[in-house]
Structure 1
Amino acid sequence: MLKGVKLRLYPKPAQQMQLTQLFGNDRFVWNQLLAMMNQRYENNPALPRLNNYQLDRLLPCLKREYPFLKESDSSSLQVVTKNLNQAWQNFFKVPAQFGKPRFHSRRFLRQSYTGKSTCQIIAKRYLKLPKLGYVKTSKTGQITAGKIKRYTISHEPTGRYYLALQIEVSDAQPLPKTNQAVGLDMGLTHLAISSDGIKYATLNAKWLQTQIERWQRKTSRQRYQATVAVRQWNHDQRHFVQLELADYQNWQRSRQIKARYQAKLANQRKDWLHQLTIRLVRQYDVIVIEDLKVKNLQKNHHLARSMANAGWGRFRAMLTYKCDWYGKQLITVSPSYTSQQCSHCGFQSGAKPLAVREWTCVKCGRHHDRDINAAINILQAGLASRPELKATGLERALVK
């Protein structure tokens, strides 16, 4: 079982310069090999594609030609070749979905590199990382007993450094059984509505969203002003100072402030989803959700922003791996007709506008809350698809 742990890094100024070099080395290797593969394909498309082993054999040649590559962790360069080989294969298998691999730029807001070498815990807040030595971290107590498979060091647009560790853990930690099952209907006003009648609200972050929009406008305005200044120098070099676009500090500062607000909103949403998912996993043994195609649903431009803010995809991903960790079961069912069918008699009442939140079945006369009725239908469909669950007594979880 693999688990991920993300820590905050506090590198010294010398280590920050070294990290900039390591980020650049991985980017340089990616661009060099990609240029070679593109030229090779243009010269003769019939040539067989290079595999991962052949790309690794090119690394010693690059190190002899460019000695600064020796400053990088050798395993990180091997990860670059592996990722490039995978991206190239995806392009030939499904070109419409993945597209051709692109060159990496040093102006990307997020820089990172991944390695497979050994990382050692030296003290409560210190780690020994390959090529960097001793680096101060936020908390090493989060690293449980296990083997570190990979590490990723990243420099975020907020100006902060993070370390993500992939840890292999041998034993799982199952939670006590509750013999309860629940169906969940996803919504926008409420993130999830359970078949028990509980409605879990979405994260209320209007203030943060307002600040993000404000700084987005300010950043765009300052970038435009900097672009105008650069163009003015091109036409009148005697009366203007020569500066590149990235040299304008006002624009760089506002861009970082905007990134910090965005990171704060993302962290709050992630924390909210963690609290909700662990609560559901502790309370229920079987969780049934809809198999929603979020990307297709977001094509509706009237609801796309609300769907993205709700975090349906991350909610499902968290439920999936937490159920695996703690010995619970997650079932996905088709969302078709869950809002149209009466959960009491099964009558199909037809499609209804989103404004209709309550309705009465014309056949049995049962009055339904739209979302709770859909959650009950989801639970019934999930239990019906797994007959073996009825032997455990979970059929009493159905709302009569």
Structure 2
Amino acid sequence: MSVETVNRGYVYSGTPTSDEAERYFRQCFGADRLMYNLHVAHLYAYLEKNGHTIGEKLPTFKEMGMPTVKEFKQVRVDDDGNKYLYEVDAFASNEAKQHFKKAMNLFNKDAFKGQFKKSALKRQKTLGIEPTFRDLKGMPKFHSRKNSKLSYTTFNQSDNIFIDENNVLHLPLAQKSKLSGVAIKLNTHRPLPKDGRIQNITITMDSQGRFAVTINVAFEMEIESIGIPTAECILGLDYSQANFFVDSEGKKANYPHYYRAMEERLATEQRKLSRMVQGSKRWERQRLVAVKLHTKVANQRKDWLHKKAYTLANRYDMVVVEDLDLRALGQTLKLAKNQQDNGFGNFRLYLKYKLEQQGKYFVKAPKSFASTQICSDCGVKNTALKGDISTREWTCTNCHEQHDRDHNAGLNLRNYGLRWIDEVLLAPSLVVA
């Protein structure tokens, strides 16, 4: 058993303690959005001036002369001449810069593909409008004020973030803020870890105007190593459009498809919304009806994913999944809606940390591993299955064993886990010996 420092995020609903506090949070959301958009605008101006060859990576901050956060703040003034970005939390602006850098790095990884968005290609076909660099997949884009989810993150420095005995979270203020303090009342449905230190706080407001607080806490946890997993405690999970996943034991997850069940009612309520005058009181009431249905579906999905991940993490010592490109899968015509409904990407994240906090193993088989095409009995590869998703059962031409497509893939992932133990877990010990 070892003691390790881990970071966990705890999410609580919250209510600002005053109208001034709520106004301050909204200003921080706006500062975060504005600072991100200023970086995007500078990038676009540079690319338009100097030209951008499709397939090239984006330039660095130094190459395009990106102003610093301080320089951006200096030029933003209101009608009274006040530099209003200095009146909100500095981290709201600094984190926007980091998010922009992350967006650039993600784009540069796939920049060589030079792929345009489907909407841009359709516009080119129907209207004859040629796509530009702005239409490239993954290109950083402006954040809309109408975004349904607003947030900003602030960090704990010298214990300037704390929770008092009344479960009120006190947050830092900007030096030039006119407020004496800002706080938010938490609905602490579960306690924070003892002796944990708050690292950072993320304040979020959803489309219904409700606030949520994510508290990132660092604390020490005793993690007991399970040693080398036995073959019986290794599970392979193959992604399935219809059943969420099929495991190496032949069991199906049978995901309830919450969005599909709510789809007809959502269509009815959104149809009503489309017929109302946008911005009117009736429109706002109907908007909240549609938003609540979407929120219910999201909460149902999240609850089911956590419970399923918790069950598997308690039952098995190692879980092996395939490293699917879910973003590409979510852009296909026939599979996108179902894939985005089931939340398989979040499920992998939940399963990973639930296993690791028990000293267990979460393994991703590489994309090059053809789990579907390989016969789990003899190992012969059936290349005819490549790109064919309609064939659900097939017979091996070598050993003549009949396979269910998903179950066979689960078995291959489990076998990959067994090889991973020999090549990764046991290899270092063999070298030392």
Is the shorter-chain TM-score for this pair beyond 0.5, marking a shared fold? yes
CA RMSD of aligned residues (A): 3.6
- Match of residue 70, structure 2, among 43, 46, 56: 56
SS in 2 for 1:98: coil
Task: Determine the structure 2 residue equivalent to 1:346.
Answer: 379
Q: By how many angstroms is 1:220 displaced? A: 2.6
- Cα displacement string for residues 197-222 of structure 1 (whole angstroms, at most 9, x for unaligned residues): 32221134243233222222222333
Distance 1:341 1:40, change over 3 A: closer
Structure 1 equivalent of residue 405 of structure 2: 370
Q: For 1:48-79, what per-residue CA distance to the aligned partner results, in whole angstroms no more than 9, with x for missing partners?
A: 44468x33365467589525444312332332
- Render the CA deviation track for 1:326-347: whole Å, top value 9, x for unaligned: 3222222247543344322334
Letter in 1 for 2:87: E
CA separation of 1:124/1:202 partners in 2, compared to 1, >3 Å: closer, same or farther? farther
Number of equivalent positions? 368
Quick one: percent identity of the two aligned structures? Answer: 27
TM-superposed deviation, 1:282:
1.7
Instruction: Find out whether 1:215 has 2:269 as its counterpart.
Output: yes
Give the match for residue 297 of structure 1.
Answer: 329
**1:137 aligned onto 2:186:** yes
Other-structure match for 1:153: 203
Q: Is contact 1:359–1:370 with CA below 8 Å preserved after alignment?
A: yes
- Report the TM-score when normalising by structure 2: 0.72
Match for 1:128: what amino acid?
Answer: H
Q: Distance between the aligned counterparts of 2:33 and 2:216, measured in 1?
A: 22
Structure 2 residue aligned with 1:114, among 137, 141, 153? Answer: 153
Select the residue among 193, 200, 204 that pairs with 2:253. Answer: 200
Higher helix share: 1
Q: Distance in 2 between matches of 1:367 and 1:208?
A: 38
What is the alpha-carbon distance in structure 2 between the residues aligned to residue 364 and residue 220 of structure 1?
A: 59
Cα pair 2:17 2:183 within 8 Å, conserved = no
Superposed CA deviations along residues 62-108 of structure 1, whole A, max 9, x for unmatched, are 58952544431233233234444555677788474432542x44333
Q: Is residue 360 of structure 2 the alignment partner of residue 328 of structure 1? A: yes
Contact 1:22 1:72 in 2 (8 A): yes
Residues 273-329 of structure 1 show CA distances to partners (whole Å, capped at 9, x for unaligned) of 111112212222221111211222334312221122122211222223333333222
1:287 matched to 2:319? yes
- Cα pair distance change 1:120/1:331, threshold 3 Å: same
CA contact (8 A) 2:196 2:219 kept: yes
Q: Does 1:266 align with 2:306?
A: no
Helix, strand or coil for the counterpart of 1:115? strand
Partner Cα separation in structure 2 for residue 142 and residue 275 of structure 1: 20
Q: How far apart, in 1, do the equivalents of 2:239 and 2:145 lie?
A: 40
Of the structure 1 ranges 120-129 and 82-91, higher mean CA displacement relative to structure 2 is found in 82-91
| Alpha carbons 1:63, 1:70 under 8 Å: kept | no
| Aligned residue number for residue 126 of structure 2 | none
Q: What's the CA shift string for 1:171-215, capped at 9, x where partnerless? A: 453475663111111112222222123222113424323322222
User: Equivalent residues in 2 for 1:1-400 (5 A)?
Assistant: 1-12=6-17, 14=19, 15-31=21-37, 48-50=63-65, 54-56=68-70, 59=73, 65-84=81-100, 87=103, 94=111, 96-102=136-142, 104-117=143-156, 118-123=160-165, 125-131=167-173, 133-139=182-188, 141-144=190-193, 145-171=195-221, 173-174=223-224, 179=230, 180-205=233-258, 206-222=260-276, 226=277, 245-246=278-279, 248-333=280-365, 334=367, 337-348=370-381, 351=384, 357-361=392-396, 363-388=398-423
CA distance in 2, matches of 1:51, 1:66: 23
Query: In 2, distance between residues paired with 1:27 and 1:377?
Result: 46
Give the AA of the match of 1:133.
Answer: V
Q: How many angstroms apart in 2 are the aligned matches of 1:187 and 1:335?
A: 18
**Amino acid in the other structure paired with 1:146:** G
**Runs (5+) with no aligned partner, structure 1:** 227-244, 393-400
- Does the 8 Å contact 1:291/1:335 carry over to 2? no
Instruction: State the shift of 1:32 in Å.
Output: 5.5
Indicate if the aligned counterparts of 2:31 and 2:92 stay in contact, CA closer than 8 A: no
AA of the residue aligned to 2:263: Q
Query: In the superposition, relative to structure 1, how do residues 281 and 335 fare at CA in structure 2: closer, same or farther (>3 Å)?
Result: farther
User: One-letter code of the match for 1:370?
Assistant: R
Cα distance 1:114–1:357, how it changes in 2: closer, same or farther (>3 A)?
A: same
* Structure 2: tracts of 5 or more residues without a match: 1-5, 52-58, 112-132, 174-180, 428-433
So what's the TM-score if we normalise by structure 1? 0.77
Distance 1:361 1:308, change over 3 A: same
AA partner of residue 170 (structure 2): K
Stretch deviating more after TM superposition (252-261 or 36-45): 36-45
Hey, what's the Cα distance between the residues in 2 that align with 1:58 and 1:298?
A: 36
SS in 1 for 2:249: coil
Deviation at 1:166, TM superposition (A): 2.3
1:112 CA displacement? 1.9
Deviation of the 1:44 alpha carbon: 8.3
